[in-house]
Amino acid sequence: MPRPVPLGAGPVGSGTAVALAQRSLSRVTRACRNVAGVNRTLQAVASVGRLASNTVMSTAESTPCTPPNRKPRASSQARIAQILAAARELLADAGVAGLSIYSVADRAAIPPSSVYHFFASVPALLEALTADIHAAFRASLQEPVEHNALNSWHDLSRLIEQRMLAIYQADAAARQLILAQHGLAEVTQADRQHDIELAGLMRVLFERHFELPVLPSEVEVFALAIELGDRVYARSVLLHGAITPRMAEEGMRVFDAYLGLYLPPFLPKRVAPI
């Protein structure tokens, strides 16, 4: 007697199994295709990345890096000097009030755009001119000093102020920017900062010839001495339009007297300058 056919066996069961197998095979095929597509995409991305990297390296090799603090070219330096010279002339003629980008360009015989290229505003131009003036003051402190001619520190103090006065007397722009009342906060702040630098050089000069005592760290003694002397010269410019001989003498006395608050009258002189 024939046995009953189990469920799922025979033709019907075989067809179902085949269909299931085909669907599984189809899924595997699609998955493989997806994996292959992803691989091709990753390979393309990697290729593009290598190309971009090579391009950047090539560009970096072919384009030299420009130092951020590179000095201006000779042509730019000449143009800046031309602009500052024109500004000096205008300051001597009409003071700060008569200064503008266009008046400087007209005096220098160059387009206003050339002035704007280097100086975006009048205060920026005046700050540069103030720095130029203080460069002359710094140079005066670096000039030789005859050590044997110094009998006391007062001699050195007087020599320094005489050199400063000579610059003021010869440079009308210096008098207008540093001594005249122009109300430009940027220029005043720049002048004070430059005074601190001058004070450092002045202290070095004093220490070269004399044995200085311990000075207070919270007070810029030499910077204040410079500023007090300038106040006297500024008073003379306000009253007389120039530094008169009498006011020049008074300014030197004020400078010397303030230093005398911190330096003893008979400061030991070095055997030889250091």
pLDDT tens, position by position, 22-67: 554 455 455 445 545 545 544 544 454 444 444 434 444 333 344 4
CATH number at residue 188: 1.10.357
Whether this model's pTM surpasses 0.75: no
Q: Is 100 left (phi over 0), alpha (psi -120 to 50) or beta?
A: beta
In a domain, 47, yes or no: no
Is residue 114 domain-shared with residue 135, that is, in the same domain? no
Q: Is residue 63 assigned to a domain?
A: no
What is the spatial distance between Cα 22 and Cα 10, in angstroms, rounded to a whole number?
Answer: 18
H-state helical runs in the chain = 10-62, 74-94, 101-108, 112-118, 122-141, 153-170, 172-174, 185-209, 221-240, 245-259
Do 128 and 203 have their domain in common?
A: yes
**Are 102 and 127 in the same domain?**
no
pLDDT score for 27: 55
Give domain status of residue 23, yes or no: no
φ/ψ (deg, to 5) at 130: -65, -40
Residue type, 111: P
- Give the number of other CB atoms < 10 A from CB of residue 263: 20
Give yes or no: residues 265 and 137 share one domain: yes
Residue 26's pLDDT is 54
Residue 114: its pLDDT value, please?
Answer: 95
Which of 162, 133, 137, 190 lies closest to 255 in space, CA to CA? Answer: 162
My answer on whether 114 and 86 are in the same domain is yes
User: What six digits make up the tokens of 50?
Assistant: 């290598």
Residue 28 covered by a domain: no
Domain housing 211? 122-274
CATH number at residue 112: 1.10.10.60
pLDDT of residue 75: 84
Considering the domain architecture, whether residues 168 and 214 belong to the same structural domain is answered as yes
Say whether both 209 and 268 belong to one domain.
Answer: yes
- Domain termination residue (choose one: 120, 147, 173): 120
Residues of the chain with pLDDT under 50: 1-21, 24-25, 28, 31-32, 35, 38, 41-42, 44-46, 48-67
Residue 101 in domain: yes
- Please tell me whether residues 266 and 133 are part of one structural domain: yes
- Answer for the pair 127, 138: CB distance below 8 angstroms, yes or no: no
Domain annotation covers residue 105: yes
Q: Are residues 218 and 239 in the same domain?
A: yes
pLDDT reported for residue 70? 58
Residues 162 and 113: their CA atoms lie apart, in Å, by 40
User: What confidence score (pLDDT) does residue 17 get?
Assistant: 41
The dihedrals phi and psi of 269, each to the nearest 5 degrees, come to -90, 140
**Residue 105 and residue 223 in one domain:** no
Alpha-carbon dihedral 192, 196, 202, 207, rounded to 10 degrees: 160
The residue out of 87, 120, 153 marking a domain boundary is 120
End-to-end CA distance of the chain: 131
Please indicate, yes or no, if residue 36 is contained in any of the structural domains.
no
Q: Assess whether 101 and 126 both reside in one domain.
A: no
Q: Which residues, at least 6 apart from 22, have a Cβ–Cβ distance to it below 8 Å?
A: none
How many domains would you assign to the chain?
2
Q: Report d(CA 249, CA 226) in Å as an integer.
A: 14
Do 175 and 265 sit in the same domain of this protein? yes
